Amino acid sequence: PHLRTFKDHFQTCKVEGAWPLIDNNYLSVQVTNVPVVPGSSATATNKITIIFKAHHECTDQKVYQAVTDDLPAAFVDGTTSGGDGDTKSLQIVERESGRYVEMHARYIGTTVFVRQLGHYLTLAIRMPEALAMAYEESQDLQLCVNGCPLSERIDDGQGQVSAILGHSLPRTSSVQAWPGYTLATANTRCHEKMPVKDIYFQSCVFDLLTTGDANFTAAARSALEDVEALHPRKERWHIFPGSGSRAPRGRGAWSVS
C-alpha cells in the first residue's frame, strides 16, 4: 500500500503479511497486507489491529480489530469506550456503518480513522510527537516512524510510482478481465476525484492501472480527506514531485506544499 510516514515521507511498499505501523509505549498498530492481483508485488490491507495500552486511571487495555467486510464499531471485548463511563477517555465513533469508524483516545491526544473502500482497508492516525517517539530501542520496526525497508519498496526509491508505471504492471491473463484503464483514462478518472495532481493523485493512477479497481480512486480521495482532517500542517497536506528537501533516506525529490 501507499504509506505516508510521520516524517511526511511517501512510499509505496510491498510489505506482504503482518507489519507493525506503530509500536510505542501507548499504542500498537499492526496491518496485514495481501497481494491484489496475480503477477504484481502490489499489496493492499485487509486487516488492522490496534492496541490501546492500559494507561493509569484513564483506560484498561483495549484492542480493536478490523478485517475486510468486518469493520466493527466496538473493541474486541464488545465495549465501545474505555475509561469510566463519565470520562470516556477512549471512544469509538461509527461514522458509516461497516465502512468508517473513528477512534478518539483523549488521554493520549490520538485520533485514528479506519475505513473500508472496496475490498481493502485504509488507516489514518494523528498522534502527539512526544508520545509517538516514546518507544524502546527494541521497538524499531515501525513503518510510520522509519518507513518501509528498502527491500520492501515498490516505488523507485523516491516515492515515485508513476515513473515505473508500465514497467511493473502485471502482464498476466487476468489483465483481460480488467476494465482496461489506460494511463490516459486512469488520469481522467482520478482527476475527477482529485483535482490537485499530487502524490495522492499519482497513487490513484497507479492503483487503477495495477488493479483496474475503481474503489482505489475513492480510497485515494478519502486518504487525502483524512490528511486534511488530521494532519496538523496545512502547508504539508499535498506532496508534489519536484526539487524538495523531504526526500526519504537522503534520496529522491519529493517536496511538500
Partner 1 sequence: CRIQKCTTDFVALTSHLNSAIDGFDSEFCKALRAYAGCTQRTSKACRGNLVYHSAVLGISDLMSQRNCSKDGPTSSANPEVTHDPCNYHSHAGAREHRGGEHSPPSYLFCGLFGD
- CB count within 10 Å of CB 150 equals 11
Pick from 201, 211, 238, 252 the residue near partner 1 by CB under 8 A.
211
The span from the CA of 159 to the CA of 161, in Å, is 6
CA distance 65 to 199: 29
222 binds partner 1 (CB under 8 A): yes
CB neighbours (10 Å) of residue 228?
11
Q: CB 203 → partner 1: shortest distance, Å? A: 5
Footprint of partner 1 on 118-177 (CB under 8 A): 120, 122-132, 143-144
Segment contacting partner 1 by CB under 8 A, of 66-74, 95-103, 117-125, 181-189: 117-125
Could you tell me the strand order of the sheet in which 81-82 lies?
Answer: 81-82, 90-96, 100-105, 110-117
Reported as type and span, the H/E element at residue 221 is helix 215-230
Contacting range for partner 1; rule: CB under 8 A; set: 68-76, 92-100, 171-179, 213-221: 213-221
**If DSSP codes are grouped into helix, strand and coil, which group holds residue 61?**
coil
If one asks whether residue 6 binds partner 1 (CB under 8 A), the answer comes out as: yes
Binding mask 10-39 for partner 1 (x = CB under 8 A): -----------xx--------x----x---
Q: Could you say which of 24, 28, 32, 44 contacts partner 1 (CB under 8 A)?
A: 44
> Which amino acid is located at 1 in the chain?
P
In this structure, what C-alpha cell is assigned to residue 124? Answer: 489514518
CA 246 to chain centre: 19
By CB under 8 A, is residue 189 in contact with partner 1?
A: no
Binding site for partner 1 (CB under 8 A): 1-6, 8, 21-22, 31, 36, 42-45, 56-59, 83-84, 87, 89, 106-110, 120, 122-132, 143-144, 203-204, 206-207, 210-211, 216, 219-220, 222-223, 226-227, 230-232
